[in-house]
Structure 1
Amino acid sequence: MDDMMRSMDCLKMAATFHNAALASTTCTGRTLGEDRAPIWVEGSSKTPEPPLPEESPAPEPKNEIPLLPQIDFEPNISCFPDLQDINASIVRRELAEEGKRCVRQQLKAIKDKQDALRMSRETQQRKEERQSDQLQQKALRERNESLLIQKADQMTAAQLEAQQREQSAQRQQIDQKLHKLALEGVSRCQRRFNQKYEGIAKILLSLDQETVKVCAAQNAQLKELGQKFEQLVSSVKMGNCEMQSQFLCSIIKAEECCKSLDALEMDIIKQLAEFSEQIQQQLKMEAAKKLEEERQKQQQQQQEEQRQKLEEQQKLEEQEKLRKEKEESEAKEKQQEAETAKAEAANVHAPLEPKSQDVPPAPTASSTCVHPDRLKFYNDILALYQSKVDAIKPLQTEESLKQYRTGCQRAINLPLNAISAVSPQHLAQNFDKLYSFFAGQPTKVMNGGTITINDHPLARDYCMLLMAKKFVSQTETAICSNPQAAFPFASVIITFWKLLPDFGKVFLAYMYKESPFLVPYVIPQQQGQTPEQYLKTIGYRLTDKNELEKPDIYLKRQTGIARLYAAVIISQGRKAAGPDECFELNEGWLWLAHMVHVKPLPDISATMIMEILQTLGFELWRTYGKQFVKLLLYIQNIYMPQLAAYDEGGPKTRLEMLLAKFLRERQIAQAVGVLPPGFW
């Protein structure tokens, strides 16, 4: 169909009409149509003339209709076709053109269908490809989503592990903090518990066996409570609490133990008060019986005394007569002797002077043992102490005043043993109990009655000596094992010293008797004195087996005495008690300066210097500054080599290390437990 359309397009209509116009001159009839006679037949005599050489016809395609042969004669008007034939041919031609047009339209429609089919196929193919791409993308997306989900799961798992690790670390930190808080809280309760426990134990130890039996149940409760508290402390120290709330419960339990211990103390005091009332009633009954017996005895004695008086009067009269006779004879003899002595004195021109060898030298202490000023102070203190001891002997030895002495002892011992720095109110309460007794206020005793210090004229000095001795005895029990306990005792001592000046001197006397190194006074060994006797003079004691105590026990006791002495120097008393200072810091400076100039002794010299430096070093450095540093350098460079000639033990080594530390760090830490100014 395409070839036919191309051949029809190649027809030259202008040439065809030109040739037809030329042929019409020779045509006589109809030349068109299928039923006409041919113009020229093959084999006729006439041959057609060749065509005019005007234009060469264009080559026609094979499928086109061949042109009519040219006629060799001249055309004439008769040979032209008529109009109908021409119209018919034109119609046919138009029909042919219309057919071709229809064919072309059909071909175009077919082609359009083919194009539409091809387009539909392409669109279908593209749609399928698009669907396949979508499926692939969906599969890829699902695969990516699965990978993302896996990665997200891994990340969430890692985050969960990290969060769990952080939570565990935070939990451990919280447990550690709670453990630390529990340790601090329990340690505070432990200090309170131990002080209260020691006070109750001292009360029980100060009682006799019969009184202790009355408190047997409370004693058992005290032991159980002590064991329970020790178990609580050990569990808190080991950190055996599984839950965080148990740490807080441990503090609450410790507080409950302290409260139960306070209740136990009140119960013991109440029980002892009831028992003392019973004893006092029994004593009253016995005293009444004794009074009746004494009255009967006194009546009998009065009768016998009257008889004896009569006899004695007679004897006295006889003795007076004899005495007068003797006096007269003695007077005569004296007159004779006086006359003879006058005669002998007249013969002598000058009296003979005694030789220096006949007069014994006065006992003096060497300067290497004690400074003269310190020795004078020491002798004055001991003289005052001895005068008071001699004065109270009637009260101390009289048997009828035994009950009164016991009441005085209990009025002093109970509040004094309870002294501690638990709180300002606690310290002030125990001081008020002691001072109210010295102020003459009535104090209850075990039998329910009351006594006052004014009941006997010697009671004030007796109680003053008793209280000073009791304070010094605390160095053997509480202070030597707990250095911080020295400061509340020292604060009370200073307060009494301000209010009762003689008490301070008596207290120093007891301190010097227990340790003459506080003067400082190194008592020399006398000729003929045994080592045991000499050790007694410097503070050694005899045990129950009548043997000297061991050196470590002696050093421990001397350590407690030095701690209390130093604490008294730097402690401040109650504000409203009197002058601000009565035993100032210069006492510590004088002691240290004199101690390094007396003869050193093994162990004890190094021990005393080390304790004084640890307690007073901070205040001495802050007050004296460079002068104190020079004193430390003197001790290190000059005194320590002198001490090394006598001492190579542990105290000397510890003192060397302590001095090196102080001079290296250029500072001394403040003693632990010092009460702040205005504490009570």
Structure 2
Amino acid sequence: MDSNKSNPLFDQDLEDLIPFTSLRISAFVSAAKISKDVKNVTIGPNATHAIDENLNISELSQSDTTDKENEIKNQNNSSAKKTSPRQKNWMSETPEIDYYDSEPPSPKPISVDDIKYVSQKLQQKKTEKETAAQVRKELSERAKRISEADKLRQEKYLAATRAAEKNLAERLKESERILLEAVANVERQEREFELEQKQKMEEMKKRENDLKEKSKVISKFRVVHTLFKQGIERFMKAFMDMDKEMQASFVNYKSAALPVIRAFENVVQTIAKGNLDIEAVNNAEKLQKNMDRLTNEMISRVNEIKVAAQNAEKEAENANRKKQQELAEQKAKESEAAAALSAMSSNQVTPVRDAVDNNQPPPPQPSQSTQQQNVRNAMSQFVSQSSLTRYDRIMSLYKEHSDAVKKLSEDQNMKKYRMTCQIAVNTPINAISALNPEHLLDKYRKLEALLKGDTVTAGSAQVSVNQHPLGKVYVTLLLSRKFVNQSDTIMSNNAKAEFPIAAILIALWQKFPEVGQFFLAYLYKECPFFVPYFLPKVQGQSDEDYMKSIGYRYTNGVMEKHDLYLKRMSGIARLYAAIWITGSRRGESAPHPHNLQNGWEWLCEILNLDPLPEICATLIFEVLQVAGHAFLATYGKQFMKLLNAIQNQYFPKLNAVDQGGPKARLEDFVVKALRERKIDPPEGLLPPNFW
């Protein structure tokens, strides 16, 4: 066991256990006693503990026991007198010993344990010194290392500072470069912004100039459009003021005006699509000037004819007056002669009877009824009796009303009224299209209001059919003829327009039946093949009269070209077929006035007649294109049998007289329909309840 822990004195101060003065005296006394026998170091870390065996430790101990006890006793007495012992370094103090005034204290006994303890303490102190020296050395080395570390850290700091300064300089340089680039970018952006603003200003200025130019163009076009409308009104007024004979002589002007009107309408449509430019307006202006030129030229010729007619009338009046004078003079002479003869006797009467009897009577003239019967007999060879009866009825009704309305047509005081009525009819009919149901309904209501007798707006004027007793008949005839003319001027150029026109015509036909009757009359006059009848050339009839009777038009004695004639007939055919298949207006309870049954009868009757070249194939082809889908849906197998009859029976007859394009188109259509057993509905057909 460790003596330090077993000895209770271990935790106490050495100076408290052994008084330093007594201990030193005792140590010196003991050392003097054993000095002769001790040859080596016995205390401290260098002690060898090689004590001479001859040295009797017990004796030494016993001889010193009394001294130690006395010393301890004295020490205890002196310690009792002391206050708390002072802590000091016992190795560094030198006690003062009085060898003369007092007796030396008796040495206290020292045990081996105490010696060991002291040795341990001394060794501990030495160890502590060495430890302290080692600590100081380590602290010195540590301080040196710290100094070196501080120096290294200082060097690193300086290097880092220099690197930071260099980095800062580079960053400042980079920042300066970035700043310069930013300034350059800002300047560039400012230049670009200024350039952009300049361009925008130029564009705005250009746009403003364009708007000004466009405004000028629009203003110019409005003026041109107004002048063109006025020109058309002047033209129509001048043309309608003519009698029918004069109109026939001026039909070439009407034919020349129609292309101008169509071209102007095309320009208007182009402008309506947003293609308004000065070129279009200039074209419109040229057309307006052409229209004015035609109108002025026609009016000039009309005036010349009127002047010539007035001169002729004056000459006729003068001649008549002169003849009347001559007759009066002759009558006076005859009276004088009669008076002279009355004074003579009866035997001297001049035999006048023989002179009269010698004159041959004129040959008997055929009556009008006989002529009509001859025409009827000629027509019966080329038309069915039922169709002929219907034709006579419609044409008689038309003639009756057209003769009645002549009083209004020829009244010079009603020119303005007639012109206003024409505008009220032409404006809505010219604007008919399937743009939307509201548009179609608007045009119908305007025409319906006019026929009902309501006051309607026509241009800048107001008009009503009730303003004249014949006003309604005049407007109805005018409207019916306009519908047929629409098939002439529009249908042949726009294959979709027949259906909205047919829709409005059917609606008016249902409410005003005379509209439909007059329409059929004008239709038969323009295209008698829709009766159908094939009127042959009668004996004594000129070629011009015959060609006019089957629908050809003449201008200054020149017949229209055959292809233009077929084109007009195609337009009429498409309109007529569209009437058969177009349904009634939504909510209309009246039956269809001219439905598909009429078309079926016409098709069967025309196939029973010997075909004429090109015109028959043209009409049948157009009718089948428009109404073939409805024929197939309604008559089914019966219609397919009819197509087989066309292929097997009608085509051989047609091949004998026709090898042209219309015949080929009809043949292709029939063959395709028989092969596919279907016919597509026509393009532009209005859906049910469209309006």
TM-score (norm 1): 0.49
TM-score scaled by length of structure 2: 0.48
